Amino acid sequence: MTPEKLQIYFDTSPAIRLLQATNAPHVVCFLHERFKQARAIDIPHSELLPALAGYQERLLEAGCEALRDKPEEYLREWSSPEKRWLHRFLEAGRSEPIYQLTPHSEQVIEFLEQALQQDLAFVGTESRLRMVMQTLEELVIGASDDPAVRLQHLRKEQAGIAQQIEDIEQHGRVTTFAPTRIREQFALAVRMLKQLQGDFRAVEEKFKEITRQVQQRQVQGLELRGGILGDALGAEDELKRQDQGVSFFEFLRFIQSPQQQDRLQAIIQQLLHFRELAEQTEGLETIRHMVRGLLDEAEKVLQTTRRLSSSLRRLLDTRTQHERRRVTEVLRQIRVLAASMSDDPPRNIGLDVDHALEICAPLSRTNWAPPTRFEQVDLTEHVADEDLRREVFRAFLQLRPIDWNGMRQRIQQAVGPCGRCTLGELLTDEPPAGLVDVLAYLQIACDDGHLVRPDATEEIVLPPSDDEPRTLALTVPLVTFVRGVA
C-alpha cells in the first residue's frame, strides 16, 4: 500500500465514488433493502422502478430532500459506465432489462455492515481468536507430510473425545458453550455468510471479462479463430487454477451435494430453537434462507460460464463462419444493387431469411421441470344463450364513454399548485361519476408514468351516483400524480 496506489484507487474506484456521493446514505440503503434484505440476486426493471419510486415517496413523506429526480434517471445513472453501482443487462427469454449489484456495490455494503455492526452489540474477539488458532493448527497439520506429526494430532483428538465420552457415561456431565460464546460464533458465521454471498460477484465478473474479450475479438475478425480460442481456453483454465477459481468449484461440488444440503438444513433447524439466539432475528432469517441463497448465487455464476461456452461453441462452428461470410457477401451485393437503383428505387422490397438450427451444449440446458398441465373442460353440450348475449350487448351500449383528455386536463390542474397530488385528493376535489372513472384514473397513472406504489394503499369513498346507488369504499394502490408527466 503506497500513496500512489491509493490515489489511483481513490480516483478510479466506483466504490469510493459511491461512498463520496451526495446521496450515498440513501442510495446504499435502497440497494441494501432491495437486494440484500430481499435476498434478490437480480431484479427486473418492472419491479425495481416502482420500488425506487416508493422509496422516494417514503423519503418525501419523512421530509427528506434527497433523490428528487425521476426514478428512471437514477437507474440509468447508477448503471452508467461512470458510476457502475448497478449492472444492467438483457437476459435471454426476457424482454426487459435486469439489474444486479456490481462487485463495487457489494464491497460498499459489506464495509458499511461491518462498520455499523447492525446485527451485533459486541465484537466476538474470543471466537475470532479461536477460529484463527484452529485454522492455523489445521494448516500446520494438513500441510505436514510427517507421519509422526499426524499421529500425534490424531491421538490428541482421540484422547479428548474419549474423555468427553467418559464424562457423559460415568458422570452425566455435558460441557456446553456459554451464551456469550454462542452469540459470538453465530454472529461470526452470519458475517462470513454475507461476505461469501458478495464474493460471487467477483468470480462472475472474471468469467464475464473473458466472454467479452472473446466476443470483441470475434466481431473484429482480425485474428484467426485458433488464436482467439487458445487465449480464451487458456484464460479460463488459468482462472480455474487460481485460488479463487479452485475455491469456487470446490464450493460448487459441496453445495450441490444432496447429503451436504440435508446436513446444512438439519443444522439450521437446530439453530432456530436456541434460546440464546432468539433476539438475533436478522441473523436467523439470513441463516434460514442460506441453502437456497447459495444455490441461486452459484447458478448465476454458472449462467455466465454457459455464455462463455456458447461463445466458444460459435467460434468452433465452421458452418457459422461460412454463413457469416456468405451474409457479408450478400449484404455487399445488396449495397451495389441499391446504389445502381438509386435513381429509380423499387416500390416493393422483400427478404427471405434462411436460418439453421443451433447446437446446444449440455451445460446450457436448464434443469428438467414437469410440463404444465391444463384442465380439460367438456364443452360438447354447451348451448349459447341468445337472450343473455343480447342483454350483454344492450348493457355494453349503455356504458358511458370515458373522456380521457378531460381527465388528463383535470390531473394537470390538480397538480399545478404544489407539483403533485394523490388520487384521493383529486377525487375529493373532482368527484367521479362512477367506479369506471376511478379505473380510468388508475390506467392513466400507469400509462403516463406517474408514481404508483403497489406496496401502499389509499382509501377512497365514492358517493352514490346514477351507476351505483350505494356508497362505495375502495382500497386502491397509492397513486401520486406529478407535474411534467405527459
Residue 407 has pLDDT above 50, yes or no: yes
Domain boundary among 262, 288, 316: 316
Q: Are residues 102 and 132 in the same domain?
A: no
Domain boundary among 91, 116, 141: 116
| 345 assigned to some structural domain | no
Domain boundary among 265, 285, 316: 316
Cell of 152: 500425534
Beta bridge partners of 461: 473
| 325 assigned to some structural domain | no
The phi and psi torsions of 274 (rounded to 5 degrees) equal -75, 125
Chain mean pLDDT for the chain: 77
Judge whether 299 and 204 are in contact, CB under 8 Å: no
Q: Are residues 47 and 99 in the same domain?
A: yes
pTM exceeds 0.85:
no
Per-residue pLDDT of 318-354, as tens digits, reads 555 666 778 888 888 888 887 777 777 666 666 676 6
> CA 194, 197, 198, 201: dihedral to nearest 10 degrees?
180
Q: Are residues 9 and 90 in the same domain?
A: yes
Q: What percent of the chain has pLDDT over 90?
A: 6
Q: Are residues 136 and 242 in the same domain?
A: yes
Three-state secondary structure call for residue 371: coil
Q: Are residues 107 and 211 in the same domain?
A: no
Q: How many domains is the chain built from?
A: 3
What confidence category does residue 122 fall into, taking pLDDT thresholds of 50, 70 and 90? very low
Read off the pLDDT of each residue in 260-287 and give the average, rounded to a whole number: 79
Q: Are residues 307 and 251 in the same domain?
A: yes
Q: Are residues 457 and 408 in the same domain?
A: yes
Q: For position 187, what pLDDT does the model report?
A: 77
| 306 assigned to some structural domain | yes
Q: Of 11-25, 252-266, 309-323, 404-418, where does mean pLDDT reach its minimum?
A: 309-323
Q: Are residues 459 and 425 in the same domain?
A: yes
Q: Are residues 196 and 308 in the same domain?
A: yes
Q: Are residues 190 and 274 in the same domain?
A: yes
Residue 478 has pLDDT above 80, yes or no: yes
Q: Are residues 139 and 108 in the same domain?
A: no
Q: Which domain holds residue 51?
A: 3-116
CA atoms within 13 A on the CB side of 236: 21
Per-residue pLDDT of 124-182, as tens digits, reads 555 566 666 766 677 667 777 888 888 888 888 888 888 888 878 887 777 777 777 77
